[in-house]
Structure 1
Amino acid sequence: MTQVTQSGAGVDDKRVDFAYDAIGQFEAISRYSDLAGTSSVVSSAYDYDQLNRLKRLSHSNSTGEVAFYDFAYDAANRITQITDVDGSSDYSYNARNELIGADHTDGSNPDESYDYDANGNRVSSSLHGSGYVTGANNQLLSDGIYTYEYDKEGNLIRQTEIVTGIVRNLTWDYLNRLVRVVDVDSAGSEVMRVEYTYDIVGRRIAKSVDSDGAGNAAAQTLRFVYDRDHVLMEFDGASSVPNMRYLYGPQIDQIIAQQDGMGITLWMLSDHLGTVKDLVDDAGNLVNHRTFDSYGNLVVQSDDSFSSRYGFTGREFDEETGLHYYRARYYDGQTGRFIG
Structure 2
Amino acid sequence: METLTNNGTAFVTNINYNEKGQRLLIEYGNNTSTEYQYDPNTFRLNRLKTLRTGNSSTLQDLNYTYDPVGNIVEINDNAQETTLYNNAPVEPRKKFTYDALYRILSGNGRELIGLAQASSGGYSADSIGAADTHAVHKYTQQYEYDELGNITKLTHTTPTSSLNWTRNYVYDTATNRLLKHDVNQTLPDYQYDAHGNITQMPHLPAMAWSFKDELKEVTLNAGGDKAYYVYDASGNRALKVVVKGNIREERYYLGDYEVYRKFVSNSLHTERSTVHVSDDKKKIALLEKQTVPEGSLTPNSSLVTRYQYDDHLGSASLELNENADIISYEEYHPFGTTSYLKHNTNISQKCYKYVGKERDEETGLYYYGARYYAAWLCRFVSVDPLQHKYPYY
Residue 308 of structure 1 and its aligned partner are, at CA, apart by 1.2
Paired residue for 2:381? 339
Deviates more, 1:97-106 or 1:263-272: 97-106
Q: Does the aligned pair in 2 maintain the 1:224–1:235 contact within 8 Å?
A: no
SS in 2 for 1:157: strand
Paired residue for 1:292? 332
SS in 1 for 2:166: coil
SS in 2 for 1:129: strand
Paired residue for 1:232? 257
Letter matched to residue 255 of structure 1: K
Residue 256 of structure 1 and its aligned partner are, at CA, apart by 1.2
Q: Which 5+ residue runs of structure 2 have no aligned equivalent?
A: 81-90, 112-135, 157-164, 290-301, 383-393
SS in 2 for 1:302: strand
Paired residue for 1:203? 236
- Any idea what the Cα deviations from partners look like across 1:107-140, whole Å, max 9, x if unmatched? 4452211111111111111236232101132211
Paired residue for 1:27? 24
1:57 aligns with 2:48: yes
Paired residue for 1:125? 154
SS in 2 for 1:300: strand
Q: 1:90 to 1:31 in 2, by over 3 A?
A: same
CA distance in 2, matches of 1:272, 1:319: 24
Q: 1:249 to 1:235 in 2, by over 3 A?
A: same
Residue 233 of structure 1 and its aligned partner are, at CA, apart by 3.1
Q: Does the aligned pair in 1 maintain the 2:327–2:344 contact within 8 Å?
A: no
Paired residue for 1:5? 5
SS in 2 for 1:313: helix
Letter matched to residue 66 of structure 1: L
Paired residue for 1:223? 252
1:310 aligns with 2:310: no
CA distance in 1, matches of 2:147, 2:322: 50
CA distance in 2, matches of 1:244, 1:112: 36
Residue 102 of structure 1 and its aligned partner are, at CA, apart by 1.0
1:142 aligns with 2:180: yes
Residue 255 of structure 1 and its aligned partner are, at CA, apart by 1.6
Paired residue for 2:96? 91
Paired residue for 1:78? 71
SS in 2 for 1:138: coil
- Any idea what the Cα deviations from partners look like across 1:69-97, whole Å, max 9, x if unmatched? 10011111111100012522111011111
Q: Which 5+ residue runs of structure 1 have no aligned equivalent?
A: 34-39, 162-166
Paired residue for 1:47? 37
Return the TM-score normalized by structure 1: 0.85
CA distance in 2, matches of 1:112, 1:304: 28
Paired residue for 1:180? 217
Letter matched to residue 56 of structure 1: R
Q: Does the aligned pair in 2 maintain the 1:223–1:237 contact within 8 Å?
A: no
Higher relative contact order (CA 8 A, sep 6+): 2
Q: Does the aligned pair in 2 maintain the 1:196–1:208 contact within 8 Å?
A: yes
Return the TM-score normalized by structure 2: 0.74
SS in 1 for 2:175: helix
Residue 168 of structure 1 and its aligned partner are, at CA, apart by 2.3
Paired residue for 1:37? none
- Any idea what the Cα deviations from partners look like across 1:27-49, whole Å, max 9, x if unmatched? 1111014xxxxxx2x10000000
1:66 aligns with 2:64: no
Letter matched to residue 290 of structure 1: E
SS in 2 for 1:175: coil
Residue 19 of structure 1 and its aligned partner are, at CA, apart by 1.9
CA-atom RMSD, angstroms? Answer: 2.1
Q: Does the aligned pair in 2 maintain the 1:292–1:300 contact within 8 Å?
A: yes
SS in 1 for 2:355: helix
CA distance in 2, matches of 1:242, 1:284: 22
CA distance in 1, matches of 2:201, 2:327: 36
CA distance in 2, matches of 1:201, 1:57: 35
Residue 193 of structure 1 and its aligned partner are, at CA, apart by 0.6
CA distance in 1, matches of 2:316, 2:335: 14
Identity %: 24
Deviates more, 1:256-265 or 1:309-318: 256-265
Paired residue for 1:171? 208
